[in-house]
A and B are shown apart, each in its own frame.
Chain A
Amino acid sequence: MATTQTKTAARFMMSPAILLLLGWMIIPLSMTIWFSFQRYNLLMPGTEEWAGWLNYRYFLTDPAFFSAMANTLLLVGGVLFVTVVGGVLFGLLLDQAIYGQGIVRILVIAPFFVMPTVSALVWKNMFMNPVNGLFAWIAKLFGFAPFDFLAHAPLFSVTMIVAWSWLPFATLILLTALQSLDSEQKEAAEMDGAGPVSVFIYITLPHLARAITVVVLIETIFLLSVFAEILVTTNGGPGYDSTNLTYLVYSQALLTFDVGGASAGGIIAVILANIVAVFLVRIVGKNLES
């Protein structure tokens, strides 16, 4: 039991870390908010002045903003779908006793350790390249015209690349969840007349619900800010076809040098992320209770 004294002491001792973290967050945030209300373009130094809501109006009425929003949601949703479904299937496979289990598991986890820029480059040049890529070679082998993934299905391609690097994470979490499933429960279900599919639907999936929520929550946080894969492969294009919010903010700030506009975009992204977070935390909180 914590007494009043120990609580006070604990708060006192935690305060340096908390204050540091708070400053770490609050200073950049307030600077961004300040910049977002400024007319601040790096190409026109010395003309900084108070701009009011102009930057926000400009950013929110930009047609690129809406496609970026849609792309962000599609990217996050697509990657979540692929990693959760794929993670469950891989988890089920890896849960079986097989020869060379340890090596197979390491191989499956490996993509997670590849840096985003590197994995995107590998995919771009070695797999999806319409001339030299592996997919093009396979297409030609069967007599089809090679498909230029990054030009014709840019968002899909980026989704695949990101999903590839996040699949191991989902697999790992779901595999450990699978391993914690009581084997007597499966046996009981078997004796109750449930076939493999029924066991999966009625026993395994409900058992995995918690782990799946954790995967969704953690991945969403990171996937809202996917950037490197887009920069390396499509540069947000063609047009705005693979531009997400993060990339839009980047292009605003460092391609058109409009710091004020980019800051406004950044603040909008923060607000959107928080809306998503509130919903997610509610759902997850409900699921993690009991």
Chain B
Amino acid sequence: MSYKKPSFKEKYGNFINGKFVAPVNGEYFVNTSPIDSSVIASYPRSTSEDIDIAVAAANAAKDAWGNTSVTERATLLNKVADIIQENLEEFALIETCDNGKPIRETLNADIPLAVDHWRYFAAAIRAEEGSASELDQNTLSLIIKEPLGVIGQIIPWNFPLLMLSWKLPPALAAGNCVVLKPAEQTPSSATFLLEKIAEVFPPGVLNIVHGFGPEAGKPLASHADIDKVAFTGETTTGQLIMQYASKNLNPVTMELGGKSPNVFFNSVMDEDDAFLDKAIEGAVLFAFNQGEVCTAPSRLLVQEDIYDAFMERVIARTKAIVQQSPYDVNTQVGAQASKDQHEKILSYIEIGKEEGAKVLVGGGSCELDGELGKGFYIQPTILEGHNKMRVFQEEIFGPVLCVTKFKDEAEALEIANDTLYGLGAGVWTRDAHQLYQIPRAIKAGRVWVNCYHAYPAHAPFGGYKKSGFGRENHLMMMNYYRQSKNMLISYDKNKLGFF
């Protein structure tokens, strides 16, 4: 079964103060699909003037919204979840068209997961409690959580609706108003969402402003009238946003890059069973979402005594990947999100070859027929080399796996931790001791043990080292969007006796 490109209006607006509005300067940019380079629609090329209006609307709405009951906020979050659920197929199709990822993935992962994150925070805010401590017989310390106020959020293009659904629900549940800038490569699903939920929140609570990083992202991140910035993206922009925040003494959360190790110990091949089959798939997950995942398991570490036999099966499974039209439900790997990404990935494959890495499979652009020939496809590629090579150290953000071998636990850990990043890691073994000890010794925020690429709500997600800080997808994220108000209450009738 195959879907067709969805239809769009000619142009869309920003969503500010409860309605769609044209950008102040009247300028738009044309968004195209990486599947075939065809035009999707025009979106506002906003500037600081649009950001100012959105931030003002959010500030005007924040007191009333911050004082709504948790029951009311939870009900509205659930309403958003219901609306996405009811339109799941349409959301999936828009996401595939805009990002290039296969429809199989948007139907079964991106959109259902997005729905679940809205529901999770709707539930979390209802179930949560503050705390009270009796410090002595007459003194009570009450901790009450209060919203920060107005949050600026900047999200990437690799999972457009899902990243929006990681960011918005905890901020809104915690009682904040938000100004969010979607990535300019993928503005469509956020716009479609706001068309569907325009009436759900009071005006000003949720604002979406489109545009380019230097023209709209920077004015948002550096705005004096916001109270916090949450960012997912790359390290240099992360550093800049922290600098801007330091001028306002604002808190930030950052989910940045990764170069995640996926470590396979020899016991995975003790049996030729369902678990081994799962482990092989776990290694091939490097190609999931065309490798455009911050946690992509892009460094494969295999114990030397099973290396040949294990890699034979990984290569065979990689060769079996179906890469064709992203609109076809059988397609497993689709188009890279843009031409510049496509070029960057190819340049990394070249530097890998030049550094002496051996191409085990793939190694170039994937040329598809017809209109797809105008899209941006890369063959799933495995490079064999060593951990000091640039391709082992830099995030390629494409379907490119770098594999090396290790002899024992100590060497596995040395290689796994020899990276600037610490976002994700995978550990695969049948040994009960390794199952616990290796994940504890890897310096990364999320270690998948005998699995990979699962992102359920209620499992905290975030980085160590240069991969950032903050923990999303978990109720603890609400605290990154809140103040802790302490009321220190005395029940003592007697004076201190100082004066």
Whether A and B are associated in the same complex: the answer reads: no
User: Chain A residues in contact with chain B, CB under 8 A?
Assistant: none
